[in-house]
Chain A
Amino acid sequence: MRILSFVLPAVVLSLVLQAQTSAPVKKVADTKAPPAAVKNFKESGSPVAKVGIELYTDYECPACREFYLNVLPILNREYIATGKVHLLHRDFPLPQHKFTKIATRYANAAGQIGKYDLVAKQLFDTQPEWSQNGNIDVQIGKVLPPGDLVKVRELVTSDAHLDDTVNADVQMGSYTDHLQQTPTIVIVANGKREVIGGAPPYSILKQYIDSKLK
């Protein structure tokens, strides 16, 4: 039995070390999986940044709203605008949310005319209203000039390929990153994808990113 005193700690330690070196993440992404096609409007920051963050959100999810409105602006200012981090938005509309798909179409249609950030922010800002009545158009109309709103409406109603990137993101989220919730952050650094479910407060996200930037 005493021999176990030496063997077990060694086994546990090797298990943990193996986990931390060869599989340090909750789910290591399948590197063979093709990356989802994304439009440029969903990316920001330097493409050669040492750390990449892929942010899966659903426009009707309150925790995503919290993260988008309270954490993302600081992250943008401190890390993305300074070229330290590359950000990629990924859409992951949850089936239980009634209006999220149409909201996603509005955001991506706005992206086609160069107004993605403006409309995405407006969708999260006004989420408590449109998630009740589904009247997304009214909320978008508050931030877009009439001409742009007409273009967005046209794209929302008639662009058959508007959901292509969404479908690719959902595939990526479901089968590569194995999402269990939104928001989910994928931190890409040193050739690894670390999938982190939930919305961390900025202070600990900052500590984590800093550790990856070292």
Chain B
Amino acid sequence: MKRWLLIAGRLALAALFLYSGIAKLREPWLQFAISIEGFKIVPDYLLEPMARTLPWLEVIAGAGLFVNVLAGWAALATALMLVVFNTAGIWAYSKGLQVDCGCFGSGAADPIGPKWFVEHGGMLLLALLVTIGCFQRGAKTAPEPGRAGAPAIA
């Protein structure tokens, strides 16, 4: 993957996750808990812990991508989160649930439907490409064994 393409993808993914995390953190956690509850998947006792931690995970992953620190792992984390979000979306849609996903804070989301799946599918694709790109680039730039700075293998 071309370097500039990877940088652009990484920054776009970073912006998405930073924005969505901060948007949720600016609201009372109860608001996001209501959104999660709408999917009818998560038991009530997990709603508060999820509503409190998920936005922070998004911010941490977004920050990692932005500053290019552990970017491969951060991208992998975003991809995993998006797999969960998409699965939850498919579940809700198949059950005919009217859910405000709360993805970018309350009131900003489209209802779950074809447009939502295109957007979130696209984000997942981006996250997967960035994950692969980051790990490939990391493997290429890793110092060879025996060279200065590389751990010696007995």
Contact = CB atoms under 8 A, between A and B. Distances in A.
Interface of A: 1, 4-5, 8-9, 12, 15-16, 19-20, 23-26, 180, 187, 194, 196-201, 203-205, 207-208
Interface string B24-50: 011111110111011000001101100
A198 B63 contact: no
Nearest to A63: B98
B28 A26 contact: yes
Given A12-B63, A26-B28, A208-B30, A198 B100 contact: yes
Interface stretch (B65-73, B76-84, B122-130, B146-154): B65-73
Contacts of A24: 26, 28
A54 B126 CA distance: 42
Contacts of B26: 16, 19-20, 23-24, 26
B54 interface: no
B63 A196 contact: no
A205 B107 CA distance: 20
Nearest to B100: A198
A5 B45 CA distance: 35
Nearest to A16: B25
A197 B27 CA distance: 11
Interface residues of B, number: 28
A159 to B, nearest CB: 35
B112 interface: no
B18 A12 contact: yes
B105 interface: yes
Interface residues of chain B: helix, strand, loop or mixed (majority): helix
Nearest to B28: A194
Contacts of B68: 1
Contact of B28 (A12, A25, A180, A199): A25
A5 B14 CA distance: 13
A25 B30 CA distance: 10
Contact of B59 (A12, A26, A194, A208): A12
B22 interface: yes
A204 B30 contact: yes
Nearest to A11: B63
B106 interface: yes
13 contacts: A15-B22, A23-B26, A24-B26, A26-B105, A180-B106, A187-B28, A196-B34, A198-B38, A200-B34, A201-B47, A203-B45, A203-B47, A204-B48
A200 B33 contact: yes
A25 B59 contact: no
A62 to B, nearest CB: 10
A23 B38 CA distance: 26
Contacts of B44: 201, 203-204
A19 B28 contact: no
A96 B63 CA distance: 43
Contacts of A200: 30, 33-34, 37
B144 to A, nearest CB: 23
B77 to A, nearest CB: 16
Contacts of B107: 26, 180, 197
